[in-house]
Amino acid sequence: MFRETAPCPGLRGWVSRYQIIHLDFRAIEAPPAKAYWPRPASALAFYPRDPEVVSRAGTGAETKPRAVLIGQPTAMEHRCGGRDFFVFQVEFRPGALYRLTGGLRSTQLTDAFVDAEAVFGREASQAASALSDAEDADVMIGIVDAFLMRLVARRQARRGLGEHGADWAADRLCMNGVGSLSRLADRAGLSPRQLHRSFLDRIGVEPSVFGRIARFDRLLRARNAYPDWDWLSLALNSGYHDHRHMARDFQSFTGMSPGAFYLQELAAPERHFGHLET
């Protein structure tokens, strides 16, 4: 199952999309791992079947809990989802996780994850258990919609945690073509220093880093969508100045050359089922 859908209308300012992925590898000896490049988003993920194991350069393998908050990534990690892999992932709009957690500084979650049940308590536990019992995707969507709507209602009753200029600026960086960061700060109604500080609090990284991650994500999705294009054409179309400019980001975010990373991407689990991330 590969399903991508929008949340209920009441969550549109908080959630960009739901992703529901079910991959059954029980017929083979071991499921393949996914080389997961950094994307410009934080997330909440539920694993109602087998747990997911993640490893990063310089760290050992860690098993994610059944409900997990995932902060803004800045480097590639390898994810292995088990033989019966099922994930219901909530991809948040910029700044939404900061608001939902009541102002938890996002740098505490950068390149990390935390048990969502420890943060949100009994309601998260109930949602995780209900998802484990559910079989129908539409039922699962209703469970997550209801859980998040309760959290949103609670946070909206508190002042000082509304949308912010930094959230708007992060949205613009995801869309490309924003010009200089000083101009972006001015359009967001902030000084460059305020934009920088607010990004660290609400997004988890500096605005320049977030913009680079967003551009890199666009590049790799374009590579999957247009496999016949050469790297230079993809780079220029994604906002890079030249091939060397692109290669520096590959080294920074994956530790690999473009070609070496793409060979790993060709072995991604979803490709066994004819699905590409585009």
Q: Give tens-digit pLDDT for 114-162.
A: 999 999 999 999 999 999 999 999 999 999 999 999 999 988 877 666 7
Q: Is the dihedral of CA 164, 165, 167, 171 positive or negative?
A: positive
Asked if pLDDT for residue 70 goes beyond 70, the answer is yes
The confidence score (pLDDT) of residue 155 equals: 87
The confidence score (pLDDT) of residue 159 equals: 64
Asked if pLDDT for residue 49 goes beyond 80, the answer is yes
State percent of the chain over pLDDT 70.
Answer: 99
What pLDDT band is residue 91 in, cutting at 50, 70 and 90?
very high
Over the chain, what is the mean pLDDT? 95
Domain range 2-156, CATH architecture: Sandwich (2.60)
Residue 88, phi-psi category: left (phi > 0), alpha (psi -120 to 50), beta (remainder): beta
Q: pLDDT tens digits, residue range 5-28?
A: 999 999 999 999 999 999 999 998
What pLDDT band is residue 163 in, cutting at 50, 70 and 90?
confident
Asked if pLDDT for residue 177 goes beyond 70, the answer is no
The confidence score (pLDDT) of residue 57 equals: 82
Using a 10 angstrom Cβ sphere, with 0-12 exposed, 13-18 middle and 19 or more buried, the burial of residue 170 is buried
The confidence score (pLDDT) of residue 29 equals: 85
Residue 46 and residue 87 in contact, taking contact as beta carbons nearer than 8 Å:
yes
The span from the CA of 26 to the CA of 5, in Å, is: 27
Collapsing DSSP states into helix, strand and coil, what is residue 119?
helix
The span from the CA of 265 to the CA of 37, in Å, is: 9
Average pLDDT on 55-65 reads 89
Q: pLDDT tens digits, residue range 215-238?
A: 999 999 999 999 999 999 999 999
Stated pTM of the model:
0.95
The confidence score (pLDDT) of residue 124 equals: 98
**How far is C-alpha 176 from the chain's CA centre?**
17
Shortest CA distance to 212 belongs to which of 182, 186, 251?
A: 251
The span from the CA of 40 to the CA of 155, in Å, is: 23
The confidence score (pLDDT) of residue 160 equals: 60
| Residue-wise burial string across 53-67, b where 16 or more C-beta atoms lie within 10 A, e elsewhere | ebebeeeeeeebbbb
Question: How distant, in Å, are the alpha carbons of 54, 106, 117, 185 from that of 112?
Answer: 10, 10, 16, 27
